Structures are given as C-alpha cells and as structure tokens.
Structure 1
Amino acid sequence: MLLSQNFLTNSDIARRIVRSSGVGPDDLVLEVGPGDGMLTRHLLEVVDRVRAYEKDRGYAERLRARYADDHRIRLFHRDFRTLPAPDEPFAVVANVPFAVTTDIVRWCLSARKLTSATLLTQREFACKHSGAYGRWSKLAVTHWPTVAIGLGVRIGREHFHPVPKVDAALLHLRRRDRPLLPASALADYRALVELGYSGVGGSLAASLRRELPTRRVARACLIAHVAGDLPVGFVRPEQWLTLYRELRR
C-alpha cells in the first residue's frame, strides 16, 4: 500500500462508481490518486476532460506514459490538496487514500465551482458524515445549506489490494442548485453551528445558551423539536436550519 492507498481491483465496481457519479462528456472531472488507473479507464469511457493528480511519482509516470497520446486526459505528479480549485464547474471522482479523506472532503466542500464529488472512502467515514448512524458531523451540518451529502453503496474490502481491515462505501457530495439559505446568511449560520458544537454543557441547547438568551433558545428548540438535553450530534441538518431561522428572527 503506497501513501495509505488501497487500490480497487474490481472493474465492474469501478464502472458502477463512474456511472453513479453522473458525469458525462461535457464535464471537467478531477481524479484524486488514480494509482494504477482502475477508475481512470472507466472515466475515459464517458468523459472527454479528465485531470488526474497522483502523489506517487512511480504511478504518475506510468499513467503519463500510458495516456501520452490521449488528449482527453492530463496527468499530474502532485498532491491534490495543494491544488487551487478550477474557476469553472467541475466534478471530482476518486478512490480516496484513506489517510487523507478528511482533507479531500474539506477541499471539495470549499471549492465554489464544484458540482459534485463521488468519493470512495472507508465506510465508517461515509456513514459518519452522511448521518447514516443517526448522528451528524459538524462538517456535514456546516455545509448542508449548500451541499447535499449522501451515503452510496457499500463495497467490500475484498475488492481492494492490499485488502484493508474495513469495508468501503461511496460518499456523494452534490452542490445544491438552490442553497437552503441565502448567501448573505451562510457565515452567520456557520458561526451558530460552531457555537453549537463547542461541547459545553452536554447538549446543543446548553452550548447555545452561552451566547444567546435562555428563553430564545428554549423557544427555538421547541419549534425545531430539539429536546433540551439532546447532544449536538443527534440534531439533524433540517433541525439546524429551523433553529437558525428562529434564533435570527
């Protein structure tokens, strides 16, 4: 395993991953850590513009030689995390090195022109950030007004080499056509989320009362159906939006 990466070995699964991403001929697609090119070859079946970023020099040179005469793809020996986001709409499709998954997800969420990201990650990570465990991460809640985050199919660990200790799953990020809050409110909403996840008092309500009047917090929680003793991780994104609107009336 190079650079904490487990390579997908099942071509049918790779094809299904590309299909689930929804990318097509007109899309610019960025691939993170193509490795031996399992996803790359299937991307090139449906996409005419691929930019692949491989941190391992050996794999980067091998892929560059393989696709030297293919105008549809450009190969870069570079750490994707250092890349400035394109200034045109683009999608990301990747079998993400597990050790840098959080960094890649944060990069995608902060890219203004990102339309979607289809990321093969550890299943636990995908579940944690999509609410599949009944809990929601701060990262997901923070970006929920602008990006829909969902859990995709489970992929068994036997379909990778080297075989990891855990199964994988797809994590789908899709930029909303219409944000759930106006752009002018996003910074304020994210500040409220930051306060709510500050972890003071054992519940979301207790954390909010650090800076907001007790009666306002109680009323907002009542309207949002958030129990006064509910830990912050169990508060759904939709409830956060209701809380925000009520507290900022």
Structure 2
Amino acid sequence: MRLLNTTTFELEEFFGANIPQYAILSHRHGNSEVSFQDVLNGKGLVKEGWRKILGCCAQARKDGWNWVWIDTCCIDRSSSSELSEAINSMFRWYQRSQVCYAYLSDVPESETDVYRIGSAFRGSKWFTRGWTLQELLAPKKVVFFNSSWIEIGTKRSLETLISAITRIEHLFGWETASVAQKMSWASRRETLREEDMAYCLMGIFGVNMTLLYGEGEKAFLRLQTEITKISDDESIFAWLHSKTPGTSISAPTSEEPPTQ
C-alpha cells in the first residue's frame, strides 16, 4: 500500500503489519487530477487537483495523521497489475482507515442548511458515483467537507439525511442487507466504464475478480457468478429477474475517468 506523507508530500510504500495509521480520501475526479507520476516528477504542483491534496493533507495533519491515501496519486495506473491489486484491495483499505474524508466539491461554503429540500448536499454528485458507495459504507468514520474544506458533519451525525438520500436504511449495519438490497443501492449510481459498475461492488459483496477492461457487461455477469459461489442468498435471482435482459445495472456517465 502506497501512502502520501501529509507533511513532506512524498510517497512511501508499506506492506502488511508495517502499514501505519492513515486517513483516506473519498472524492469525485475532476479534469486535472494529480497522478502518481505527477508527484514523482513535481508536475502535480501546477494542476488543479493539487489544491484538493493540500486540503486533505492539512485536515489529516490537524487530526494528527501523518499519512493519507488518495487514489489519484497513490496508485500507479500505468501498471495494470498494480491497478488490479488496488481495486481488489480498495474496500479493505477504506475499511481499515482511521477516518475517511468525503470531499464534496459541489457543496459551496455558503450552504448553511444541508437538510433543506433542494440543498447542494442532497444533490451532490458524490451520492451518484458507483465508487463512493463502498467509500460510504466501508469506513467506520466518514467526515463530510464542503468545497472549502469546512466540515459539514459525519456519517453518524448525518445518518438520517444520508439514508434518505441513498435509500440505505442502516448505514452502520448494512452488511446484513440482502444481495438484492445491495444491488438496488448500486442501481442508483453510475460509472464511466461499464466494467467499473461490477468492479466497484466487489468489496461490498466480498469477492475478488481479475480486471478485464473492455469486457463490458460481461464483468457484471462474472460478479454475479462470484457472488453465487459464496452466498446462498436467493434474492440475487429475484433482483436479476426484475431487470430487463441485456441491460446493465445503471447508466454510464462521462463525468469521471476510468476506475473512479
């Protein structure tokens, strides 16, 4: 696992029991994110995404954490094997974090009432991403921040509101939900790549799969197969029966780059 030092902004790799405590970021990708290569060659400083990294590291230092994990710069996406390992491990990484910072770039500092019908928080696209479903559920502690890195609240303090937005009844007991219920949560979300709609659910269902970008809807068929291997929950068949043959679990969006 590669982590970013919150003070020096240097990357370091850790393994097994030697992985230190860390904060982790959940966010929507923008048009100019800082990559692993950008951190190494120093080009990340001029990218728009650097401000997000600075904000995340500043909050982590304030909370007493020396390390953070940020998907954009902590994964070397030029390595297909590393990308596959990271995506298969991602749920566990969020689960083991000390705190997850959910950065909602489309919620302005000026918003004072997130409970208001039509609020930017309620309408944040963070709640529509496929990948943020596991980033909401896996960590024990999630803290939400607006575009200016001002705290909005936590998963615990905003539980009722978040449940209303996501239709996930038990944010802290979601593991007991049926396969069909979990599929219904995902059906309201989107990913750029069709395959990612399956890959982003692997951790939630406790399965691992080889990543094969280009396989299209076959990825979801493989996910179904893996789920049935480890679960006798027949609600998956009821869910699949309710879907129109040949359609995917959700519609794609062009908003995010592959895997995020």
**RCO comparison, higher one (Cα < 8 Å, 6+):** 2
TM (normalized to structure 2)?
0.30
Q: Which has the larger radius of gyration?
A: 1
Relative to its length, the structure with more strand (as a share) is 1
